[in-house]
Chains A and B, each alone.
Chain A
Amino acid sequence: MTWRRALVIAIPMLWLGIFFLAPFFVLGRISLAEAIIARPPYTPLFGRAPDGSLEIFASLENFRFLLEDALYRNAYLSSIRVALISTIFALLIGYPIAYYIARAPEPKRSILLLMVILPFWTSFLLRVYAWMGFLRTNGVINNTLMSLGIIDAPLRLMHTDLAVYIGIVYTYLPFMILPLYANLTKLDAALLEAASDLGASPVVTFLTVTLPLSLPGIVAGSMLVFIPAIGEYVIPALLGGPDTLMIGRVLWDEFFSSRDWPVASAVAIVMLFLVVAPIMWLQSVQNRREEH
């Protein structure tokens, strides 16, 4: 029987090996090189020393450079901040929606769920462009507000941090709603009845029963929003202002504008660890919780 088990495990392992580990090692190897004008534009790992013996070129110089330079630290911190704020807003907006869908009667529920998923059938890029149409100076929002007489001069919405938050929250909201919904539909209604029979107000019931029980959904949804938001490049590039500094953009600059593949690789590796760290932490928190 064990060879069958091995086979079953081998397939995902092979997948991980080919599509995660191998690229990771390539990245790691380039991050230890030095940029030169050549094709490919970095120093080879093995070379010949002047005396003809084999030499290995590898240095941690690029990582030291990242540590020393305030730009990278600021970009990492600002990416984390943007991702965190976006996650909080996605949660505040997504939770009531998920709750409402989970409580809705059957035919309506399916329709509501479909409405959450429906935007995915159009291109992500198109949806961000649609937001540009809403937010711009001559855009839908400003024109409506002006014609209603609420404002006299157009508001600056495009090219601001606000636009970036709107874009990220909008784009990733379904990733928050779906795990929350999956979790909330499983919630046993009898528990809520029991709480109310015992004299708890709806607010207390929500805070002491629903919320703690939906924690796994909150964690799953938050991670699904937070992780892609950290590395987001397209949304800040299209909607953000000049001072929106995010690590995705810094990475792009290093790779394309500076042509410095080694530093870009080092930035990507540090980013990977930055993303993995919160996941590991959340996992350990959850495991501990389950042990209790």
Chain B
Amino acid sequence: MTTRRVLALGAAMGLVAGPALTDTVNVFNWSDYITDEVLEMFTERTGIAINYDVYDSNDTLEARLLAGSSGFDVVVPTGTFLQRQIAAGVYQPLNRDLLPNMAGMDAELMAAAAAHDPDNEHAVIYMWGTTGIGYNIDMVAERLGEDFEVDTWAMIFDPEIAGKLADCGISWLDSPTDMFPAAFAWMGKNPQSTEAADFEAAAAMMMGVRDTVRYFHSSQYITDLANGETCVAVGWSGDVLQAAERAESAGNDVNVWYAIPREGAMQWFDMMGIPADAPNPENAHAFINFILEPEITAKITNYVWFPNGNAASWPMVEEEIFTDPAIFPTEEVSETLFTGVTYDSRTDRTVTRLWTRVRTGQ
């Protein structure tokens, strides 16, 4: 995931957390990713005040962390970013004695997240999700027929199919770390490939269909899908479902839903970690432990519609959400999911360059 919500501006330009008092905890999380109720409950129970700040992209968070002295106690990067930040020495190991609620975590999901953080030494899953396709049910059926099965990357990568959808508006995430693995999955390549030749081939394939893309953006699609401004968007599961909910409550006859492509889709983990130079590490542990309380995690999932990794909370997640395969994928679908890989700096540069070419068509 790269950019969520509007621009990184607000976050990029400061908003440094206040002075470090012992009875505060400075939390830096994604925007629209928690319910205020939970934050109030934490302060009520522990007496620790929360400075809660939000960002909209991993890049913004990473720039702050790498610059040093960020002043944050708890941050929530996505796994692939976490991995590189650990290598740069950004995090302190978690003290398990202060996190008894970690016992409730789902072993399988934590094992998957350990791909980014061996033995889950530095971080624990906050929420997770998939990168798939949001679509307008009626507009797509009108153009591709009622029987068309939308759970495929062909919706955006097959020139013929994407060509039929282009007039009602297709948007892609402006995030090469999401788009290249998706392209690999569609092309039948290893989605975790780091071969320069694979990236070249994927870029060439995407160049072939870029004329069907109305824009590249990582949050605008939420509003546009909800308004019927666009009909297909590559997006993050919870964000697309948020668009679906907005469309429903607006009552404007727009029906949006989310599909996990059968060729395989990326499963990502947003992980809570504590920076090595956190001013209040003990409060940070208290906050993380509080979030991992089963009823608290359930409250958050019920609000944001992203699945969590806290198995102990699942009985308290609303039935409608827990049984929705678009939110909690079925076992069968889970097997087609893959995790992202962290690119080294050389691959990073290749990927950014190729992506600029795809995005600008030059």
Q: Pick out which of these stretches binds chain B: A31-39, A172-180, A221-229.
A: A31-39
A242→B216 contact, CB < 8 A: yes
Decide if B345 touches A40 in the complex (CB within 8 Å).
Answer: no
B84 within 8 Å of A by Cβ?
A: yes
Query: Do A38 and B360 touch (CB < 8 A)?
Result: no
**Inter-chain contacts of B8 with A (CB < 8 A):** 256
Cα-based distance from A72 to B359 in the complex (angstroms): 15
Within 8 A of A (CB), among B212-235: 213-216, 227-229
User: From residue A10, how far is it (CB to closest CB) to chain B in Å?
Assistant: 29
Contact B57 A256, beta carbon cutoff 8 Å: yes
For B68, what are the chain A residues with a Cβ–Cβ distance below 8 Å?
Answer: 39-40
Return the chain A residue nearest B172 by Cβ: A242
* Bound complex: CA A37 to CA B84 (Å): 7
Known: A39-B66, A39-B68, A243-B362. A258 touches B60 (CB 8 A): no
**Dominant secondary structure at the A interface:** loop
Q: Is A24 interfacial (CB 8 A cutoff)?
A: no
Contacts of A63 in B (CB 8 A): none
Partner of A136, one of B89, B216, B229, B348: B229
Question: Are A37 and B362 in contact, with the CB atoms below 8 A?
Answer: no
**Is there a chain A Cβ closer than 8 Å to B356's Cβ?**
yes
Chain B, interface residues (CB within 8 Å), range: 35 or more
Partner of B63, one of A36, A241, A255: A255
Q: Check: A41 CB closer than 8 A to any chain B CB.
A: yes
A37-B87 contact, Cβ under 8 Å, with A242-B359, A245-B360, A256-B57:
yes
Which residues of A, 6-65, contact B by the 8 Å Cβ criterion?
A: 35-41
Q: Which residues of A contact B352 (CB under 8 A)?
A: 253-254, 257-258
Residue contact B349 to A258, C-beta cutoff 8 Å: yes
Query: B59, A242: Cβ atoms under 8 Å?
Result: no
* Cα-based distance from A159 to B174 in the complex (angstroms): 14
Residues in A whose Cβ lies below 8 Å from that of B66 = 39-41, 259
Q: Which residues of chain A are within 8 angstroms of B197 by Cβ–Cβ distance? A: none
Nearest CB in chain A to that of B177: its residue:
A257
| Residue B15 is within 8 A (CB to CB) of chain A in the complex | no
Measured CB to CB, the nearest residue on chain B to A246 is B360
Residue in A242, A244, A260 whose CB lies within 8 Å of B345:
A260
Is B106 interfacial (CB 8 A cutoff)? no
Asked if A250 lies at the interface with its beta carbon under 8 angstroms from chain B, I say yes
Task: Tell me, yes or no, whether B4 is within 8 Å of chain A by CB.
Answer: no
Cβ of A251 to closest chain B Cβ, rounded Å? 12
Please report the total number of A residues contacting B with Cβ < 8 Å. Answer: 32
Whether a CB of chain A sits under 8 angstroms from the CB of B316 is: no
Q: Scan residues 203-238 of chain A and give those whose CB is less than 8 A from a CB of chain B.
A: 234, 237-238
B226-266 near A? 1/0 per residue, CB < 8 Å: 01110000000000000000000000000000000000000
B361–A39 contact, CB under 8 A? no
B63 — which chain A residues lie within 8 A by C-beta?
255-256, 259
A159 surroundings in chain B (CB, below 8 A): 214-215
Q: How far is the CB of A188 from chain B (nearest CB, A)?
A: 46
Partner of A242, one of B84, B169, B213, B229: B213
**Measured between C-beta atoms, what is the minimum distance from B276 to chain A in Å?**
9
Show the binding face of B for A, using Cβ within 8 Å. Answer: 2, 7-9, 57, 59-60, 62-63, 65-68, 84, 87-90, 169, 176, 210, 213-216, 227-229, 345, 348-349, 352-353, 355-357, 359-362
- Would you mind naming 25 contact pairs between A and B with Cβ atoms under 8 Å apart? A36-B345, A37-B87, A37-B88, A38-B88, A39-B65, A39-B66, A39-B68, A40-B68, A71-B356, A74-B362, A136-B229, A137-B169, A138-B229, A234-B9, A242-B360, A243-B359, A243-B360, A245-B356, A245-B360, A255-B63, A257-B2, A258-B345, A258-B349, A258-B352, A259-B63
